[in-house]
Structure 1
Amino acid sequence: MTPTELFKALADETRVRITQQIVREGELCVCELTAALEQSQPKISRHLALLRSSGLLQDRRAGQWIYYRVHPQLPAWAEQTLAQLMQTDDPQMAADNERLLGMRNRPGRQSLCG
């Protein structure tokens, strides 16, 4: 991943918010992201596909569910950039966190995600 690829991937507010939630939680599925960001499943999926194709995220399939996490082989400078991103005092990130934590019937890595 190059700096240009990273910044292009993060050049959209929705993709930044998705990345913040995944960095914070370690791994999330689409249904958790739709609840946290209050966005439609197709919109979240489209942004996840771009983040995955950029090399920022990696997905894994568990049965019928797909989980997303930060790619484990990111360069150190990219990991440091993401760490700095998490240090921001962002009211939107706090609101997204609150919605995620308040998600009713949040999947225990099984039931609702797809």
Structure 2
Amino acid sequence: MRLKHFTVAFGLPIFKALGDESRVRILHLLWRNQEMCISDLEQVLDFTQTKTSRQLLFLKNAGLVSFRRLDNWVFYYLKDEVIELMQQLLGYLERDPQLVHDQQVYQTLWSNRELAAYKLQNRRWTGTPVS
């Protein structure tokens, strides 16, 4: 669902959410990577679990993010109705050094996770330890 009308009542919490660097960094990562779990956000941003959860709760209450549960994991993502707006706003910040660094850290984290999964998968099939 796309955002069709933008009212002051709807816009106020969005502008408040964008008024904090931590929340902008979280929104940018969610926009670039579709969804992320809290532990990934903590590692990438070097935030405590409490700070990450508090900022995500603020973004959820502002109507910008939602979440889905998968077993013990909670994955946060941008709501469909605000993706286009976030794309327009965050697109202007694409070259910000901090946001670029955050995305690079996440890409490194993700590639290491894929490597670890590959090693585990090979160990299961061959029955030999992989180092």
Query: Structure 2 length normalisation: TM-score?
Result: 0.72
1:43-90 per-position Cα deviation (integer Å, ceiling 9, x unaligned) = 11110011011100011111111000001233xxx7234433133220
Alignment of 1:50 onto 2:58? yes
Alignment of 1:73 onto 2:81? yes
User: Judging changes above 3 Å, is the alpha-carbon distance between structure 1 residues 31 and 62 closer, same or farther for their aligned structure 2 residues?
Assistant: same
Name the one with the larger helix percent.
2
Q: Distance in 2 between matches of 1:55 and 1:43?
A: 19
| Structure-1 residue corresponding to 2:101 | 95
Q: Which runs of 5+ in 2 are unaligned?
A: 1-8, 118-131
Alignment of 1:17 onto 2:25? yes
User: Judging changes above 3 Å, is the alpha-carbon distance between structure 1 residues 63 and 81 closer, same or farther for their aligned structure 2 residues?
Assistant: closer
Q: Distance in 1 between matches of 2:51 and 2:103?
A: 19
Aligned residues, how many?
Answer: 105
Q: Distance in 2 between matches of 1:87 and 1:19?
A: 13
Alignment of 1:59 onto 2:59? no
Q: Which runs of 5+ in 1 are unaligned?
A: 109-114
| Structure-1 residue corresponding to 2:90 | 85
Query: Structure 1 length normalisation: TM-score?
Result: 0.81
* Structure 1 residue ranges, 4+ long, deviating more than 3 angstroms after superposition: 104-108
Larger Rg: 2
More RCO (CA 8 Å, sep 6+): 1
Identity of matched residues, %: 31
| Structure-1 residue corresponding to 2:34 | 26
2:31, 2:86 within 8 Å by CA — same for their partners in 1? no
